[in-house]
Amino acid sequence: MTQGLPFEGVVVVDLSQGIAGPLATMMLAQYGATVVKVEPPGGDWLRATARIPGGNTGVTVSGNMGKRSICVDLKSERGAEVLRRLVADASVFVESYRPGVIDRLGFSHAAVTALNPEIVYASVSGFGQSGPHAQRPAMDPVLQAYGGLMAEHGTFLDGPHRLITIPVDLTAALFAFSALSAALYDKRVHGTGTYLDLTLLQAAAWLDLHSLHERLLHDGRLAPQPAIYGNYGTSDGEIFVAALNEAEWTRFRAALGEDERLVADRFRPYDALRAPEPHTGASAELRALVGELLLARTSAEWAERFTRHRIMCAPINDSLTFLREPHVAEQGLFAHLRQPGIDIPVPIPGLAGLPISEGSPRSMAPLAGADTEDILAEHGFTAEEIDDMLGAGVVRSFVEPVPAE
């Protein structure tokens, strides 16, 4: 089911860099907003690994699809005047500098609302705008460490582990998109803007909330896990499988072929095998036996058998294997989008109710400054003024090089 574009007519001035802010504003663009990404003269710092100057990477594509880009030196007075003109026409202003930096540039909340009283103003930061850690540089792994995620992820491993899938950034982006959407609804209903203090810290708190509650309710420990709940080797890889209770354990044994060793008295009742340390005693012995049995078949064979017996499971895929899964293809989960500055199509999953079509404006991520001259002209700058600012380095426009014949 598809839906309309509820943010058509909304103009967003997006100064955010990195991942959380750009992803949130990208989602606004996908739902119809006109998002102008304001980048420094060299482009967003995430473009540093691009094949060409000011070019795209996979991360900049996912964060900037559907946006327009202008490169401006905001430390110059003429650059600041460019931003003031953009702000005057905007519905939303988003920045992700360290606290205090945007104030020194002359675009604090007070300064922006003086130009545009009804604007929705959002600051995206690691630790927030106040408090003892407000000035601490932050990115996803820093908040994974600070918020407990690394420690909890390593509880049943050999110590704290970083999740490389940037869960804090992605969750913060979703929270920011939700907050901006709610603020825009409020603005539509009541005609007033607002200020949003959006943080990676809040995202980390929500991601770790389940473990926090478990520890509070179990004397500082995580809740005991079922004996069969985890990863197991197969003849060609690994599979995750879970038998949560006595009924599922019965079906699990049936899927394994009713090996008589699984019904030994020391493994009864199954629910009694839950323990704070599942790698000891009868629980560990049962896991080892199941691990031995699972080596007899492939991950795909076990997944089919377990699914038939209504047991939760999944082969342990890497990201490329997941991309090539037949079910993923059948769902149309990814669109493969050609992008300026990248030689191969970039796979991007769609958003709820919004299929992405290759070649549509919402599917394209601009090069840094790709729209600089057009945006300046639309905001009243003359051709002579634009040429002068380009020559002085106040603004910049990147153009994708034409391949040699």
Supply the Cα-derived Rg of the chain in whole angstroms: 26
- The residues annotated as belonging to the active site are 169
CA distance 402 to 405: 9
Helix, coil or strand: residue 380: coil
Would you call the peptide bond into 269 cis, given omega within 30 degrees of 0 as the criterion? Answer: yes
* Tokens linked to 134: 């407000």
What is the token pair recorded at 136? Answer: 């601490």
Question: Tokens representing 313?
Answer: 């499971």
Q: Where are the alpha helices (DSSP H) in 126-245?
A: 140-146, 149-153, 167-190, 200-207, 209-217
Return the exposure string of 359-385: e unless at least 16 CB atoms fall within 10 Å of the residue's CB, then b.
Answer: eeebbbbbbbbbbbbebbeebebeeee
- The string of DSSP codes covering 53-99 is TT---HHHHHHHTTEEEEEE-TTSHHHHHHHHHHHHT-SEEEE-SPT
Angle between helices 383-392 and 77-88 (to 10 degrees): 130
> Facing residues of 212 across strands?
none
245 φψ region: left (φ > 0), alpha (ψ -120 to 50), beta (else): beta
